[in-house]
Amino acid sequence: MQPFIVEHYLNKDVYIYCGGPDRFEGMIEACADGVLTIKQNNKYTHIAINKIIAMWGKDAKL
């Protein structure tokens, strides 16, 4: 999944769902060593890639 994220979502605003109440949003800043780093409001969140259930761009039509 890491190569897919780097190729399609690096430097893009996304929503991320990890199950239950675990939902994140922000700009993907980095993706390495099994960890996704997003930034929102000048704060960084680091998410284990293997915990991600779904991810989509903020510009996606739902």
User: What is the domain-level CATH number for residue 38?
Assistant: 2.30.30.100
Does the residue 62 lie in any domain?
Answer: no
Q: Block means of pLDDT (10 residues each) for the chain, length 62 residues?
A: 94 97 97 97 97 92 64
The strand order across the sheet containing 35-40 reads 43-48, 35-40, 23-32, 13-17, 54-57
Helix or strand run (H / E) with residue 8: helix 2-9
The number of domains in the chain is 1
- Distance, CA of 8 to CA of 15 (rounded, Å): 14
**pLDDT value at residue 59:** 84
Does the residue 45 lie in any domain?
Answer: yes
Does the residue 30 lie in any domain?
Answer: yes
What does each C-alpha distance from 12 to 20, 21, 46 come to in angstroms? 24, 23, 16
Predicted TM-score of the model (pTM): 0.88
